[in-house]
Amino acid sequence: MQVPNYPTESIIAFTAIPIKFGFGASDEAGYEAKRLGANKVLICTDKNLRETGHPDRVKKVIEKEGIGVEIYDEVHVEPTDKSFDKAASDLKGSEFDLYVAIGGGSTIDTTKAANLLITYPAPILEYINKPIGNARPIPGPLKPTLAIPTTAGTGSETTPAAVLDILDMKLKTGISHPYLRPTMALIDPLLTVSMPPEVTASTGTDVLTHALESYTTMPFDKRKRPDHPSQRAAYIGSNIISDIWCVKAIEIVGKYLRRAVADPYDLEARWHMMAGSTFAGIGFGNSGVHIPHSMAYPIAGMVRDYVPPGYNVDEPMVPHGHSVTVTAPAAFKFTAAIWPEKHAHAAQLLGINTEGMSVIEAAMALPDAIIQLMKDIGFPSGIAELGYTEADIPQIVEGTLKQQRLLVGCPRKVGEKELTQIAKESMKYW
């Protein structure tokens, strides 16, 4: 049978890594390291997490299998181009055959970057998306990585991306490539119990935006078919497989995030939020994101003096969950009319009673559902609370327009005018 010559994409290229999920999953790190043939392991983490004892406990578990282990605890929270380079420089010349990342997205992304820069040395900007960097493809596989997440948020343990701040440009961006996906994830909800309420709230809303954006990205079959399979992007657009994961993640956040913020020892809520993070990561790790994440990068990168409550940091920082969520209500108001059925479904999953509403009315209820959740978990009321004014909007928009690897996923045409309006509406919601 002859395959039709489709002008648009017709193939769903879906990738998922092996996962072990549940209470105590991190205790199987030794078994998995041995199964992968490791002789010398490097655990990457940060100093705050090192104090919880989790990295040293996992070290002992791996050593019981007769495997050598070292710990690197210099990971920078909300990593930068400089911290990625430092990690690679610190570890250069070490003969590790397995990386184990224990931490949140910052740690997992730093581990990905160090693995990349040591395996295929080059300035980090070579691998970063255009127009910021040169978008050099990663030439081959990296060394194996076990990811053990300690936050229910980024989903980095399942994704092909690493996110960082470019200090000189005052913006956040990322690298996306299938080779960046960890080899396996050991997902243990018990490791999230130590997260303060503010961190739980921020990482939890990151789960929500991942799922909502992925669910509403431009469909895969509305995009140009690549000339060669090797040219297919890591993020292919919404599709029937990713949608399944995203829908469940949205439902979980609607049911359990408030509980996890209110009581860190609510293990049922912790279990479900960790599942939601994983589901959203699998979803957006294949289909991609759009406006909120694109705008989040300059919002985080331009930080001045905002120090987030609940975060043990000694410098100004806009957490990733904060930066993506503050524009989400306005962004989904903008996209609702293009795909009202999906926006309406998302509103229902977040608890909105849409009985008696038209599809458009139900779709427009999604921003209200997000705002109500933000209020309930003590979230910042908009961009202004992060230290910005309307005078900063042109710079935010300029930085957003540089995130073309993400903006290409927007289901509605978006440019400077539209982003300016979204930023204005995001300044203060209540």
Where do the domains of the chain lie? 19-192, 197-425
Distance separating alpha carbons of residues 78 and 403, to the nearest angstrom? 18
Q: Are 176 and 129 in contact (CB under 8 A)?
A: yes
The neighbour count for residue 196, using CB atoms within 10 Å, is 14
Distance separating alpha carbons of residues 176 and 185, to the nearest angstrom? 18
Distance separating alpha carbons of residues 88 and 423, to the nearest angstrom? 36
19-192 — its CATH code? 3.40.50.1970
Q: Which tens digits make up the pLDDT trace of 37-83?
A: 999 999 999 999 999 999 999 999 999 999 999 999 999 988 999 99
Query: Of 128-132, 353-357, 405-409, where does mean pLDDT reach its minimum?
Result: 128-132
Give the 3-state secondary structure percentages of the chain, helix then strand then coil, rounded to 5: 50, 10, 40
Q: What is the pLDDT of residue 296?
A: 96
Region 100-125: mean pLDDT is 95
The neighbour count for residue 4, using CB atoms within 10 Å, is 7
The neighbour count for residue 313, using CB atoms within 10 Å, is 14
Residue 66 Rama label (left phi>0; alpha psi -120 to 50; beta): left
Q: Is the pLDDT of residue 169 over 90?
A: no
Q: Are 291 and 414 in contact (CB under 8 A)?
A: yes
Give the architecture-level CATH label for domain 197-425. Answer: Up-down Bundle (1.20)
- Percent of residues, the chain, with pLDDT higher than 90: 86
Q: Are 87 and 74 in contact (CB under 8 A)?
A: yes
**Is this structure's pTM higher than 0.85?**
yes
Q: What is the pLDDT of residue 230?
A: 87
